[in-house]
Amino acid sequence: MRAPGLILAVTAAVLAVACAPADQTAPPTNQVDGVTCTKDKLPTLTPGKITFGTDQPVYEPWFVDDDPANGKGFESAIAYALAEELGYAKTDVVWTRVPFNAAIQPGKKTYDMDLNEFSITEERRQAVDFSAPYYDVDQAVITLKSSKAASVKTLAELKQVKIGAQVGTTSFDAAERLQPEQDVAVYNTNDDGKAALRAGQIDALVVDLPTAFYITSAELEDGLIIGQVPAGDGKPEQFGVVLDKGSPLTACVSTAVENLRADGTLGRIEQEWLSSAGTAPELK
């Protein structure tokens, strides 16, 4: 049962924001779910340090130069903002590289929290904890100007071309939901998907919108965003921080995320790293 915890967390967040003096640096000893969210009290892997996990390689605009520790890129910036919110200095932040499968296996984790564009779903909650969401993401479909998919304007037309997506992503789920006439091609990474696009094996690739903007502006010379594809059940899809199932940190991290949302930090980081992600036409 996560609901009482969430209500508590949100209440605590609202209270914390409401009663916080304007220029506070360290948050007051805020207790969430009986855990004190301060550096000296948080039961992290290494006391006094906070360990973030992420995959290797990681991609722009989420991280820059495949180096999560440089504070550049949306998720790297979020990680450092979270650490600061919990009272950790930059030097207290440790990064570890965790492949997708290792991040979600049921055994002991090698990280305190993992940021890797993980979409929150109810089903996944049975295996891991998610923090409060830190980004609402849309799915988009991209192609090459030379491809026959370049002229696609509607969902009905999109169904007729060969679509690909990365395995294990909500982009793939979105591609499946389109119910295209040909089977969705599945790739290990978006890099492989791009290779298949160049080789003409697929006509279009489904990726999340910020990635779509990045790929079409910086990676594919003649790349083109066809448009956004509708979300699953009408609800926006959201990224959350992944923590070990039942982690004592979850409530504190969720509170920190809510605090960052309330004080405008989330919006600022989003502006800085994902601002190019305007909107693409919504395909109907």
Partner 1 sequence: MTSELQRERLAYKRSRSRRSTLVALLSTAVFAVAVGVTVSRAPGWPRVRQSFFNVEIAWRSLPAVLEGLWLNLRVLAVCGALILVLALVVATLRTLRGPVWFPLRVLATAYVDLFRGLPLIILLYLIGFGLPALRLTGVPNDFVVLGGAALVLAYTAYVAEVFRAGIESVHPSQVAAARSLGLGPRKTLRLVVLPQAVRRVMPALLNDFVALQKDCGLISVLGAVDAVRAAQIEHARAFNFTPYVVAGLLFVLLAVPTARFADALARRARRRQGGR
Residues that bind partner 1 (CB under 8 A): 100, 104-107, 121, 123-124, 126-128, 164, 167-169, 172-173, 183, 185-188, 192, 195-196, 198-202, 245
Q: How big, in percent rounded to 5, are the helix, strand and coil portions of the chain?
A: 35, 20, 45
User: Which are the contacts of 167, defined by CB distance < 8 A and separation ≥ 6?
Assistant: 186, 187, 188
What residues are paired with 97 via a beta bridge?
54
Q: Which of residues 245 and 261 has its CB atom nearest to partner 1 in the complex?
A: 245
State the nearest-atom distance from the C-beta of 80 to partner 1, in Å.
26
The region, left, alpha or beta by phi > 0 then psi within -120 to 50, assigned to residue 249 is alpha
β-sheet with 204-208: strand ranges across:
185-187, 163-166, 204-208, 139-144, 223-229
Closer to partner 1 by Cβ: residue 76 or 170: 170
Q: In which element (H, E) is residue 261 found?
A: helix 250-262
Instruction: Kindly tell me which of 35 and 163 has the beta carbon lying closer to partner 1.
Output: 163
- Beta carbon of residue 165, minimum distance to partner 1 (angstroms, whole number): 10
Alpha-carbon Rg of the chain, whole angstroms? Answer: 20
Q: Residue 24: exposed, middle, or buried by beta-carbon count in 10 A (0-12, 13-18, 19+)?
A: exposed
CB of 128 to partner 1, least distance (A): 6
Whether 249 contacts 5, CB under 8 Å: no
Least separation in angstroms between residue 69's CB and partner 1 is 26
Cis, peptide link before residue 57, omega less than 30° from 0:
yes
CB nearer to partner 1: pick between 34 and 106? 106
Minimal distance, residue 124 CB to partner 1, in Å:
5
Nearest Cα neighbor of 257 from 115, 60, 99 is 115
CB of 170: closest distance to partner 1 in angstroms?
Answer: 9
Between residues 91 and 126, which has the closer beta carbon with respect to partner 1?
Answer: 126
Q: CA 137 → CA 68, 80, 99, 218, distances in Å?
A: 20, 21, 22, 20
Work out how close the CB of 222 gets to partner 1 at its nearest, in angstroms, rounded to a whole number.
Answer: 14
Nearer to partner 1, 124 or 261 (CB): 124
Of 159 and 198, the one with the shorter C-beta distance to partner 1 is 198
